[in-house]
Amino acid sequence: MRAFVIAVFAFLYLPIALVVLFSFNAGHHASEFTGFSEQWYGKALSNPFLVEALKNSLFIASTSALLAAFCGTAAALGLQRVGARTRGVFDALLGAAIVVPGVVIGISTLVALVQLFAVVNPFLASVWPTDQPPRLALGYGSIIAAHGLFSMALVTMIVGTRLSSLDRNLIEASSDLYATPLTTFRSIVLPQIMPAVTAGFLLAFTFSFDDFIIAFFVAGAQTTLPIYVFASIRRGVTPEINAIATMVLAASVLLVLLAQWQLGRRKPSP
C-alpha cells in the first residue's frame, strides 16, 4: 500500500516537476531541454502581457472571492431567518449555481450579456447628457460576476452548514445577558463561522484563479492567466510560462507553510 501511495504522489508531481524543470531551460521552447538558464524569469516579468494577465487574475480572483465571501455569508445568515418556501427556492438556485457546468455558465452569461448590452448601451447613449456615454462591455465585471456566482453559492453552503451546528446555548446566554443582537453576532456568531468563511474565500480564490472555461467566454478583450496560457499553448509555449507557473506555485506553497505555522502557533496540537 505504501508503494502504491508513493507511486500516486510521483504521478501527481511528475508534471509539476517538468513544469519547474523547463522554467530553467536555456532554449526557446518548453519542449526541448537545451541547457540551464534562469533568464526566463526575467523575461516573464518584463513581458507586459504576461504580467498584465497575472495581475488581472489576481485582481479578479481576490475581488470575486471577497464579494462571494461577503454576499455568501450574508445570504447564509439571512437564510436562517426565512421560511421553508423561500429557503427551498434559494437552495435550488444555489445548488444550480454549483452544479451547472462551467462551460454552460460561460456560454449563457455571454449570450445574456451581449443581448443586455445591445439594449442598454443605445439607451444610455440616448439619455446621456454628453457625447461620451458610458458603455457596458465584457471585461473585469463580467468575469468577476460569473466566477463569483459559483463561489458565492459555495460560501453560502459552507457557512450555512457551520451556522446550523452553532451552539445555541451560547447565543441564548448572550441575549439573556442583555447583549444587543449586534454584539451577540460580533462576539459569538462571527468568531464561530469565521473558519468557514475563510475556507470559502480560499476555495473561491483558487477556483477563480485557475478557471479557464468561464473566463474564455466572458472575458471580452481582457486576458487572465489561464487564457494567456491557453493562447500560449496554441502559439508554442516558451519557458516564460513555466517560469510564471513556478512562481505561482512557490508563492502558494509559501502561503500554505505560513498558514500551517500560524495554526501551529495558535494551538500546539492540531
DSSP H helical segments within the chain, as ranges?
A: 2-23, 39-46, 48-79, 84-99, 102-127, 140-164, 168-176, 181-184, 190-210, 213-218, 225-235, 239-266
115-174 binders of another protein (CB under 8 A): 115-118, 121-122, 132, 134-140, 145-146, 148-149, 152, 156-158, 161-164, 166, 168, 171-172, 174
Site string for another protein, 16-55 (x = CB under 8 A): x-xx----------xxx--------------xxx------
80 binds another protein (CB under 8 A): yes
202-241 binders of another protein (CB under 8 A): 206, 210, 212-213, 216-217, 220-222, 225-226, 229-231, 233-237, 241
258 binds another protein (CB under 8 A): no
> Nearer to another protein by C-beta: 45 or 166?
166
Contact in structure between 125 and 133 (CB atoms under 8 Å): yes
99 binds another protein (CB under 8 A): yes
d(CA 20, CA 239): 9
194 binds another protein (CB under 8 A): no
Of the candidates 10, 26, 104, 190, which one interacts with another protein according to CB under 8 A?
Answer: 104
3-state secondary structure of 25: strand
Contact in structure between 105 and 218 (CB atoms under 8 Å): no
237-256 binders of another protein (CB under 8 A): 237, 241-242, 245, 248-249, 252-253, 256
Residues 6+ apart with CB under 8 A from 228: 49, 50, 53, 241
- For cell 513555466, the residue is 242
60 binds another protein (CB under 8 A): no
